[in-house]
Amino acid sequence: MRKQKMDLDAVARFNRIAAPTNFFFSLFFILLALVCVVPLVFVAIISFSSNASIQKIGYSFMPLEWSLDAYKYIWRERSSVGTAFLVSIGITVIGTITGLFLTSTMGYVLSRPTFKLRRFFTMLIFIPMLFGGGLVAAYLINTRMLGLQNSYLALLLPVAVSSFNCIILRTYFQTTVPDSIIESAKIDGARQLLIFFQMILPISLPALATVGLMLSIGYWNDWFSTMLYIGSDHQDMYPLQYVLISIERNMDFLTKNAQFMSPDSSRLKLPAESTRMAIVMVVVLPIAMSYPYFQKYFISGLTIGSVKG
């Protein structure tokens, strides 16, 4: 008992941080947090600034005049923006669930030492992390071979599985899930699907939340797939990102060609600069608000299993 107490005291002394060091680290992380938060606050302020204020003094934390013109302009486009918002939510939810299912099953199989081809498939999924097949090859496969053009599958499948996420889950299953649990379940007569869904997944929430967060961010921010695979005659399938980018492009076109319009045209008064920032806020806020719910699992999911490869 005395030896254990001495060992605990030694560990406590080793982990003790002096007051000046603690103050320095606290100040450092406060500054780091401000560096991350202040740009977002600045963007929000600009989105509420009037067009006249931006033209006169530029971007400022204290604009000369506050205005809701940017959000009113987006609201006037609510028919297309609202549909696109629902499309983005549906794609994000369904795509995240699909990606988690495909990635977790692949990661679990590759983590099992009894699977004879696990080294071969591990190297196979590791190759795309180093070398890409190219945009032309991906486009031809998705459109000519799979026929995914102008379908929601074109927005779901290309983002669903990535080599990086498979490696994360494979490493987590290898280093965190005890083999004794799986062997005991096999002795009791449980099949692989039962073991995976009722035993492995419940104790793998940190890793699943980590991969799920990255998948949801990827789906929410994806607009490039829409540009490649969805034609202009299927605008009801456009997600939010692509619609907002289209609105910004239209505003840029109208602003640059204002000299060809009548002087009393309302399009000359478009709040182009503030609308850009309003678009950023509309895009960022929904996914940013979901991050606190994943934060605990996200941190533990990245750190657990990071020692052993």
Q: Is residue 121 part of a domain?
A: yes
pLDDT for the residue 128? 83
| In contact, 104 and 201? CB cutoff 8 Å | yes
pLDDT for the residue 266? 47
Give the separation between CA 210 and CA 226, rounded to whole angstroms.
Answer: 25
Q: Is residue 27 part of a domain?
A: no
Report the b/e string of 144-153 with b at 16+ CB within 10 A: eeeebbebbe
pLDDT for the residue 141? 87
- Helices 78-111, 205-221: axis angle to 10 degrees equals 140
pLDDT for the residue 116? 85
What DSSP string describes 157-188? Answer: HHHH--HHHHHHHHHHHHHHS-HHHHHHHHHT
pLDDT for the residue 14? 54
Q: Is residue 269 part of a domain?
A: yes
Give the separation between CA 206 and CA 301, rounded to whole angstroms.
Answer: 4
Q: Is residue 36 part of a domain?
A: no
Q: What is the CATH number of the domain that holds 72?
A: 1.10.3720.10
Whose tokens are 């103050």? That residue is: 23
Q: Is residue 124 part of a domain?
A: yes
Q: Is residue 83 part of a domain?
A: yes
Q: Is residue 39 part of a domain?
A: no
Question: Which candidate, 305, 300, 306, places its Cα nearest to that of 209?
Answer: 300
| In contact, 160 and 95? CB cutoff 8 Å | yes
Would you put residue 162 in left (φ > 0), alpha (ψ -120 to 50) or beta?
Answer: beta
Predicted TM-score (pTM) of this structure: 0.77
* Number of structural domains the chain divides into: 1
Q: Is residue 2 part of a domain?
A: no
**Averages of pLDDT over each 10 residues, the chain, 309 residues:** 54 64 85 87 88 82 86 81 88 93 91 85 85 82 88 90 89 82 80 84 84 88 89 86 80 62 52 79 79 65 47
| In contact, 242 and 220? CB cutoff 8 Å | no
Give the separation between CA 283 and CA 64, rounded to whole angstroms.
Answer: 26
Q: Residue 238: exposed, middle, or buried by beta-carbon count in 10 A (0-12, 13-18, 19+)? A: buried
Q: Which domain holds residue 271?
A: 48-56+65-303
What single-letter DSSP state applies at residue 49? B
